[in-house]
Amino acid sequence: MTDSPKDTLLRQELDLLLKLQVIDYDLGELERSKEYLPDMMGNLNREIEEAQTRYDTGTKDLEEARIKQQNLELDIKTREASLEKFQQQMMSIKTNKEYDALVAEIDNLKQEKSNHETELLETMELISTLETNIAEYEEKLGQIKENNTRQLAILQEKIGSIGGKVSEKQAERSEVTHAISRQVLSTYERVRKGKGGAAVVAVKKRACGACYKALTPRKVQEIRKADRILTCDNCGRMLFWDDDESN
């Protein structure tokens, strides 16, 4: 038994609806990519900036530590010279008062020198740590720049191609919609906008493939006949029979 012209037309229209649904899904993905691709690019650029900041901050800290080391070494030498001078003055002191004052001055200089020597050692340890860290920061920065720059170029190319792909899909959509009856297309558009996601779904285990509401035996038979496009009484989606899915 061959299908009637009406049945053939309905099956063609159902095929067009499924094709339209794929096109609309692709268009939706393209629209979403307009939002998430710039976000991805922003994250990649921020990663480069953060790595650059770590390297720049470490380099600045190292420069400051080296300057501090030079100043401490100079201060220590200055105090060593002062101590030597005061030691020579001890030979010419005539009173106990002068002696006590000079001893106090010498003790103070020794303490200051000791403090600076301790600080110098700490600074030298800091410099060693910073030099190690900066080498790691520099290597990491190079890796991130190379990797992220490559990814940014790919994402930029994708962003640049979105407009053309959208235009192609819209042209395909226009061609398909012109071949679908106004009433069926109106139902499709209403369901798609109201429910989101798929507007045309296969029956699965004799239930709606979207909301899983069980269908009556009569409804199942009507859908299998495919002499008209039926919708789910629960969610309103358009239903079709697929032998691979429905049993």
Q: Decide if pLDDT at 4 tops 70.
A: no
Q: How far apart are CA 184 and CA 15, in angstroms?
A: 12
Q: What is the pLDDT of residues 144-184, one digit of tens each?
A: 999 999 999 999 999 999 999 999 999 999 999 999 999 99
What DSSP designation does 178 have?
Answer: T
Q: What is the pLDDT of residues 176-210, one digit of tens each?
A: 999 999 999 999 999 998 887 899 999 999 999 99
The beta-strand segments (E) located in the chain are 200-204, 207-208, 230-231, 238-240
Residue 2 has what pLDDT?
46
Please enumerate, as own/partner, the contacts of 205-212 that have beta carbons within 8 Å and a separation of 24 or more: 205/246, 205/247, 206/246, 208/232, 208/234, 208/235, 208/237, 208/239, 209/239, 209/245, 210/235, 210/237, 211/235, 211/237
**150 phi and psi angles, rounded to 5 deg:** -65, -45
Q: Decide if pLDDT at 9 tops 80.
A: no
Which whole number is the average pLDDT over 229-245? 87
- Tracing tokens 């990649």 back to the chain, one arrives at 44
pTM exceeds 0.85 for this model: no
Q: What is the pLDDT of residues 105-153, one digit of tens each?
A: 999 999 999 999 999 999 999 999 999 999 999 999 999 999 999 999 9
Structural domains in the chain? 33-178 (1.10.287.1490)
